[in-house]
A and B are shown apart, each in its own frame.
Chain A
Amino acid sequence: MTSPDTPPAAIDIRGASKTYPNGVRALEPIALTVRQGEFVTIVGPSGCGKSTLLRLIAGLSPSTAGSIVLSEGFSPPRLAYVFQSPTLMPWASVQANVRLPLDLAGMPRSDADEKTRHALELVGLQEFARSFPRELSGGMQMRVSIARALATEPRLLLMDEPFGALDEITRNRLDREFSELSARENLTVLFVTHSIYEAVFLSSRVLVMSPRPGRVHAEVNIDAPRPRRDSFRGTVKFATHSAQLSEMLGAVMSEAE
């Protein structure tokens, strides 16, 4: 990790931890560096503090101790967050939902419309700009949510199990699309998931977290070029890494019981 061509850090977490006011320790002091252009995925059972970590990084929740440093150009609004559920405003059109971050920043309407159009194109939903969220399928709603995150042209994307509620076929398709999109836009991504296969397919590096209290248990590098195609799922490398992570996760689970 110290070779001269290692890209600079996007996120530098030094001993950040979270204890809730009721005394529950959600996250043990954690040390983690996410480098620019990396696709890092966190896997782990429920209650291991994955979501807490993302919320700390986004500044939605203060850390109890330690520090989290976002490099220049990687903090809001260049940092975007995709939630577990689509989290769309049901009363607003797709277009208005995607434009929201730009509207809140007070961007002139014509510029905002242009960026909104571009973001919808990236997720292939330009024809649905005037639809309402209710009129779309779960997968399409999630793509609107991603388009909204992309509207501010972020460099860092935090994603909290974004495809967790979708059926497997839709999920695989969105994973493939997102792999292409993140590589093409050179996004730095910190992704949380329950799915080992999703983690291996998408990531350059996978972290395994253990629960109660949450801490990083192990780390696996997936050194295959990105973006990845569906054929990657059939490779030996994919199978090996999936088995390796599955074993690690199994160890973490039995340790927790």
Chain B
Amino acid sequence: MNSRSWVSIAAPIAMGLVFLAAWHAIVAINQIPSYILPGPLLVLETLLRDWNPLFHSLLITLRVTGSALLLAVLLGSLLSVLFVQSRLLEAALLPYAVILQVTPLVAIAPLIIIWVDDPFDALVICATVASIFPVIANTTVGLRSVDTGLVDLFRLYGASRTQVLVRLRIPSAAPYFFAGLRVATALALIGAVVAEFVAGTGGTRSGLAYQILQAGLQLKIPRLFAALLLITVTGIALFLVVSWLSRLALHRWHESELPQEK
């Protein structure tokens, strides 16, 4: 590992330590009560003490996020492929995808939660609605961004529509798809949390957002912070997983994932 990458790891860690130390100092010096702002050590202590219920909630939130992301990817990619095959279909459906995107999730979530009986399903639908648009938008652009020379080449050799789709359009779309997937991943987690907030006691009563809601009502602020920490860590972990997938798929050929020149 060279010095550059050491810096890129050490610098944010040092920054984080400075922040934690300052946080600890401010709480200790001003003797701020823990129901206003708990110190970092108390948050950690709470996280360890309440690990079982919190971890259980984390798994629920992860399941909602994961299911929604999977659904968004499958449905979004399928729609993109249909859009590219038929301009008519795109013209008919795209405006509704946009409407779905620009309408705030908090405004639709209550309806979805009322209409869908199973609370888990309702949360998954909300998170899917929140995350599907970047998949559709990016993949559609990607499927269209095909080298015209390669299109000629495929035509010259008599490629079928399916061959053009599978061997040319889908690989061309991969970098765009992964860029969309990164955004969609963050949105799916946000969607899952927001939906659970909106659902309140009507939801699964078990995700991380519900923990935050409960902890807030009961003034268990250290626990609220612990749940918040878990959501953040989950978001970072999901981002890293998607980045890793993207690198795995693109590292040998696409500019965005090539190693930096020295």
Binding site for B on A (CB under 8 A): 58-60, 76-77, 79-81, 83-85, 87, 89-92, 100-101, 103-105, 132-134, 152
B40 near A: Cβ within 8 Å? no
Q: Can you list 11 A-B contacts with CB-CB less than 8 angstroms, sorted by A residue number?
A: A76-B156, A81-B152, A83-B149, A85-B149, A87-B153, A89-B167, A89-B171, A90-B254, A104-B154, A104-B167, A133-B253
Q: CB-defined interface of B153-180 with A at 8 Å, one 1/0 digit per residue?
A: 1111111000100011001001000000
Is A134 a contact partner of B253 (Cβ separation < 8 A)? yes
Contact of A104 among B163, B253, B254 (CB under 8 A): B163
CA distance A132 to B258 in the complex (A): 12
Residues of B within 8 A of A103 (CB): 167
**Residue among B163, B252, B258 facing the most chain A CB atoms (10 A cut-off):** B252
**Residue among A91, A103, A132 facing the most chain B CB atoms (10 A cut-off):** A91
Residues of A within 8 A of B155 (CB): 60
Smallest CB gap from A87: residue in B: B149
Residues of B within 8 A of A91 (CB): 171, 174, 252-254
Further contacts, 11 of them, CB under 8 A, given A58-B156, A76-B156: A60-B155, A76-B157, A77-B157, A89-B150, A90-B253, A91-B171, A91-B174, A91-B254, A100-B157, A104-B163, A132-B253
Residues of B within 8 A of A90 (CB): 253-254
Is A83 a contact partner of B157 (Cβ separation < 8 A)? no
Smallest CB gap from B175: residue in A: A91
B147 near A: Cβ within 8 Å? yes
Residues of A within 8 A of B149 (CB): 83-85, 87
Binding site for A on B (CB under 8 A): 147, 149-150, 152-159, 163, 167-168, 171, 174, 252-254, 258
CA distance A10 to B156 in the complex (A): 18
Is B156 a contact partner of A105 (Cβ separation < 8 A)? no
Residues of A within 8 A of B156 (CB): 58-60, 76, 79-81
CA distance A59 to B157 in the complex (A): 11
Is B159 a contact partner of A87 (Cβ separation < 8 A)? no
Q: In the complex, how many angstroms separate the beta carbon of B47 from the nearest chain A beta carbon?
A: 43
Is B171 a contact partner of A104 (Cβ separation < 8 A)? no
Smallest CB gap from B152: residue in A: A60
CA distance A81 to B157 in the complex (A): 10
Residues of A within 8 A of B171 (CB): 89, 91-92
CA distance A156 to B147 in the complex (A): 24
Residues of A within 8 A of B150 (CB): 87, 89
Residues of A within 8 A of B152 (CB): 60, 81, 83, 87
Smallest CB gap from A131: residue in B: B252
CA distance A59 to B156 in the complex (A): 7
Residues of B within 8 A of A58 (CB): 156
Q: Given known contacts A87-B147, A91-B171, is B252 in contact with A104 (CB within 8 Å)?
A: no
Smallest CB gap from B255: residue in A: A134
Smallest CB gap from A103: residue in B: B167
CA distance A178 to B177 in the complex (A): 40
Q: In the complex, how many angstroms separate the beta carbon of B67 from the nearest chain A beta carbon?
A: 30
Q: Given known contacts A87-B147, A87-B149, A91-B171, is B253 in contact with A105 (CB within 8 Å)?
A: no
CA distance A81 to B174 in the complex (A): 27
CA distance A103 to B155 in the complex (A): 14
CA distance A205 to B51 in the complex (A): 83
Residues of A within 8 A of B253 (CB): 90-91, 132-134
The 3 closest A-B pairs by CB, nearest first: A87-B149, A90-B253, A91-B171
CA distance A79 to B157 in the complex (A): 9
Residues of B within 8 A of A104 (CB): 154, 157-159, 163, 167
Residues of B within 8 A of A133 (CB): 253
Contact of B158 among A80, A92, A105 (CB under 8 A): A105
Residues of A within 8 A of B168 (CB): 89
Residues of A within 8 A of B153 (CB): 81, 83, 87, 100
Residues of B within 8 A of A101 (CB): 157
CA distance A89 to B163 in the complex (A): 14
CA distance A84 to B153 in the complex (A): 12
Smallest CB gap from B148: residue in A: A87
Residues of B within 8 A of A77 (CB): 157-158
Q: In the complex, how many angstroms separate the beta carbon of B162 from the nearest chain A beta carbon?
A: 11
Is A132 a contact partner of B157 (Cβ separation < 8 A)? no
Q: In the complex, how many angstroms separate the beta carbon of A135 from the nearest chain B beta carbon?
A: 9
